[in-house]
Amino acid sequence: MIYLDNAATSWPKPPAVADAVTRFLRDVGASPGRSGHRLANEAERVRFDCRAALAELFNVRDPLRAVFMLNATAALNFVIHGLLEPGDHVVTTGMEHNATMRPLRAAEKRGVELSIVACGPDGTLNVDQLRDRLRPTTRLCVVNHASNVCGTILPIREIGALTRARGVPLLVDAAQTAGTLPIDMAADQIDLLAFTGHKSLLGPTGTGGLALADEFDPARLPPLMQGGTGSKSEHETQPEVLPDKYEPGTPNIMGLAGLLAGLEYINEHGRAAIRTHEEELTAQLIDGLRRIAGVRVLGTLDARRQTAAVSFTLADMAPGQVAQQFDEHFGIMCRPGLHCAPRAHRTLGTLPAGTVRLAPGPFTTREDIAQVCAAVARLAAGGAHG
Amino acid sequence: MAEFAVILVHTTSHAIQAERVLKRADLTVKLVPTPRHLSSDCGSAVRILAGEQEAAQEALTVVGLEIDRIELLD
């Protein structure tokens, strides 16, 4: 089997990830933040080490500014609905996932004004066009770091310089990039970073969260949810102190044990080395696909300017059909359709049918990519089965 | 003379961070339930040797860890 759906969920995971989850459930098991016994303390150590590893990865000085939520979607909702009030203006791009677009559309319904900066047909963004859309009432700019459809990387450092200069908080959706591309929240001037654990951070599903820059004042962001934290328990109002302010309820601590193992794998092997490996596979994939008649590859067609998510269409065959043939006859797992990103597909000109997305990961090999290209060539030549 | 002091913190995340930082500084440290006569935001506190109070405070200041206060244990 060849698994090329890493942009949805990375798999396989490093063996240490499953081991850490199993070990946690078997030997620790308790809730962090409550009770104070040795197992609860051990659970809190796991969670703290996970925060510290993330803070280091994103260059945040204070590890308690890495707060955990269900995934990047939860973090994006937390910020969009927590920060924006009726009459506020928010700017985003034409390449966003529905994890951003749907909360923004919901915010619009309650009186928030939304501007969507158009992107090029390859998914690239002209920062001058973003600058033109900022207003005195702009209270948030939210952009993806890289497209989940075609991998196109947005210039977050350039965007950060602009938004910081204008005093507009910048929220970056790093679902596709955390763990592979460099993210330096200080140098990139990112105020808030939504990350997920189950993609390039190599952790289990149900892990992720929000990183707050050292400069960002948490008083600006009310907590969207309230609940028990194990701290300030005599009060019936949510504590203001981080991380508890944004972490009500018992967390997915066994998932965080796995995420910590994923982060340790990245540290051990090197984020840059993983990125280089994926970039090479992406270049091989783009090159191989472009040689096949009837194939159209989306995006910049340059592996250096994108993540390892390659979208293509095949003349005369619907994306869903390609994916079915892949699965049934070639053992290739991919994701067809709209990838929860209709706005991005509109920009790329691939509505309504969508594309086939192939997303290699750290454990994909050059041989896998060669086999996938051969399979596409067979389908393109009419070698499909019924 | 008190043998121990306790560092009172805001959350258990702070308690674990303090534990990590103080261990790295080679100080004697133990997580304990917050003594009942001391009011605190958090059920866990960080017990240190009374004689290492200054060294502990300095180590925590270096990393910018915000604590509630330190109390001597009788």
Number of Cβ pairs < 8 A linking chain A and chain B: 66
All residues of chain B having their beta carbon less than 8 Å from the beta carbon of residue A228 are none
A111-142 pLDDT tens trace: 999 999 999 999 999 999 999 999 999 999 99
* Distance of residue A186 Cα from the nearest chain B Cα, in angstroms: 17
Angle at the Cα of A119 from the Cα atoms of A117 and A121, rounded to 5 degrees? 155
Q: What is the pLDDT of residue A234?
A: 85
Q: Is B27 on the interface with A (CB under 8 A)?
A: no
pTM over the 0.90 mark: yes
Residue A2 β-bridge partners: A332
Categorize the per-residue pLDDT at B25 as very low, low, confident or very high, splitting at 50, 70 and 90: very high
Interface test with A, best of B11, B19, B24, B60 (most A CBs within 10 A): B11
B30-48 pLDDT tens trace: 999 988 888 778 889 999 9
The answer to whether residue A384 scores a pLDDT higher than 80 is: no
Q: What is the pLDDT of residue A385?
A: 60
Report the run of H or E that residue A76 belongs to, with start and end.
helix A72-83
**What is the average per-residue pLDDT within A184-192?**
98
Closest CA to A379 of A356, A353, A354: A356
B11–A231 CB contact, under 8 Å: yes
Q: Is B51 on the interface with A (CB under 8 A)?
A: no
CA torsion sign for A276, A277, A278, A280 is positive
* Percent of chain A predicted with pLDDT > 70: 99
All residues of chain A having their beta carbon less than 8 Å from the beta carbon of residue B42 are 230-232
* Distance of residue A50 Cα from the nearest chain B Cα, in angstroms: 11
Q: Is B64 on the interface with A (CB under 8 A)?
A: yes
Report the run of H or E that residue A91 belongs to, with start and end.
strand A89-93
Based on the residue annotation, tell me whether A373 is a catalytic residue of this protein.
no
Q: What is the pLDDT of residue A30?
A: 93
Q: Measure Cα distances from A357 to A276, A290, A375 in Å.
A: 20, 14, 14
Closest CA to A333 of A378, A384, A278, A375: A375
A37-92 pLDDT tens trace: 999 999 999 999 999 999 999 999 999 999 999 999 999 999 999 999 999 999 99
ipTM of this predicted structure: 0.91
Angle at the Cα of A128 from the Cα atoms of A98 and A116, rounded to 5 degrees? 25
Q: What is the pLDDT of residue A35?
A: 79
Q: What is the pLDDT of residue B43?
A: 83
**What is the average per-residue pLDDT within B46-61?**
96
Q: Is B15 on the interface with A (CB under 8 A)?
A: yes
Counting Cα atoms < 13 Å in the Cβ hemisphere of A319 gives 20
The answer to whether residue B4 scores a pLDDT higher than 60 is: yes
Q: What is the CA radius of gyration of chain A?
A: 21
Q: Write the single-letter amino acid at A317.
A: M
Main-chain dihedrals φ then ψ at residue A310, nearest 5 degrees:
-115, 120
- Asked if the bond preceding A12 is cis, omega within 30° of 0, the reply is yes
Of A225-229, A255-259, A271-275, A288-292, least confident by mean pLDDT is A225-229
On average, the pLDDT of chain A sits at 97
**What is the average per-residue pLDDT within A244-260?**
97
Q: Measure Cα distances from A230 to A5, A249, B11 in Å.
A: 38, 9, 8
Alpha-carbon distance of A310 to A139, in angstroms, equals 33
Let me know how many helices (H) and strands (E) chain A has, helices first. 11, 13
**Cβ–Cβ < 8 Å for A91, A112:** no
B11–A230 CB contact, under 8 Å: yes
Which chain B residue shows the shortest CA-CA distance from A67? B13
Categorize the per-residue pLDDT at A280 as very low, low, confident or very high, splitting at 50, 70 and 90: very high
The answer to whether residue A203 scores a pLDDT higher than 60 is: yes
Alpha-carbon distance of A366 to A371, in angstroms, equals 9
Closest CA to B12 of A20, A254, A46: A46
**What is the average per-residue pLDDT within A367-372?**
98
> Would you list which residues of chain A are within 8 Å, Cβ to Cβ, of chain B?
32-36, 40-41, 44-45, 47-48, 51-52, 61-64, 229-233, 239, 241, 243-244
